[in-house]
Amino acid sequence: MSKNIDKNSFDASGTGVAIITPFNNNGEVDYKSLKKLVNYLIDSGINYLVVHGTTGEAATLSLSEKIKVLEEIKVYAKERVNIVLGIGGNNTAEVLASFKSYDFKGVSAILSVSPYYNKPSQEGIYQHFAAIAKVSPVPIILYNVPSRTGANVSAETTIKLASKFANIIATKEASGNIEQCMTIIANKPKGFELVSGDDNLTLPLIACGAKGVISVVAMANPKDFASMVTACLKGDFEKAKQLHYKIMPITNLIFADGNPGGIKAVLKMKGITNDVVRLPLVGVNSSVLKELKKVILNFKQ
């Protein structure tokens, strides 16, 4: 049990961004566009980058690609923001072994998704994360996204993990269940935080006591989104509401035909990256693309 890690060594509050992995027309990682995106996000005021999350299409990257993408992002970021590395899966032994593949210098924390497809019990989920907590060299952010994994991480399991392991410092909650989030916030141990995993629920969750978000839509509109989160954290909900409702139409469209197809389409419109995704994902359909173009054209940054 990693009780020697200071909970304050990484602060998950503010605006984290689950960064895409840009591909060129041949389906290869486009490092030039990746550098452009990293600089764009950091210059726009985001607080940290999450590498190899769902939005990064980690499931379709080889291990060698994952390692190189991480190392390149470290170089591009130049220690200006923290970097969180996505490490997770539904084979606990394989997840534990994967820690040996990465150089954790420059990595502030990991984001670890709950096991998917297997549909483990709450005890199985607990034991999975307990095993990760015993080997991780950096703090851990749990990731609960039952719409993708097929199994919810209950509030009770989250609180149990947070109370037992000092290096489990936060949870990214994408259950869409505000009551569950409030239960976690009300009963969590000191030093453990909840961050939103749903862009549209960021404002209400921070009002309930969440400390920030790991966002997708922030890539489309980082300045306004980061400003909205900052306003929320300062208690300026009038300003936050204005920005929230300004951003919401983009958020709804970005997820209308799958992620990261929507955000990649927007980034292409902005001239930052290509919109290529790897199978089994495909780009957004023509009707969604048409609506996205209208919103982006009329949107005032």
Whether 105 sits among the annotated catalytic residues: the reply is: no
What b/e sequence results for 171-198 when a residue is b if at least 16 CB atoms lie within 10 Å of its CB, and e otherwise? bbbbbeeeebbbbbbeebeeebbbbbbb
Q: Helix (H, G, I), strand (E, B), or coil: what is residue 212?
A: strand
Largest CA distance in the chain: 52
Please tell me which residue in 7, 66, 74, 172 is annotated as part of the active site. Answer: 172
> Residue 111 corresponds to which tokens in the numbers above?
């984001």
Q: Are the C-beta atoms of 22 and 37 separated by less than 8 Å? A: yes
DSSP H helices, 12-62, are: 31-43
Show the beta-strand stretches assigned E in 35-139: 48-51, 82-86, 109-113
CB atoms within 10 A of CB 117: 11
Whether 102 sits among the annotated catalytic residues: the reply is: no
**In angstroms, rounded to a whole number, what is the distance separating the alpha carbons of residues 289 and 256?**
10
Bridge partners of 214, per DSSP, are 16
Residue with token string 């015993």: 134
Please tell me which residue in 102, 143, 188, 264 is annotated as part of the active site. Answer: 143
Report angle CA 195, 161, 130 to the nearest 5 degrees.
Answer: 120
Catalytic residue numbers? 143, 172
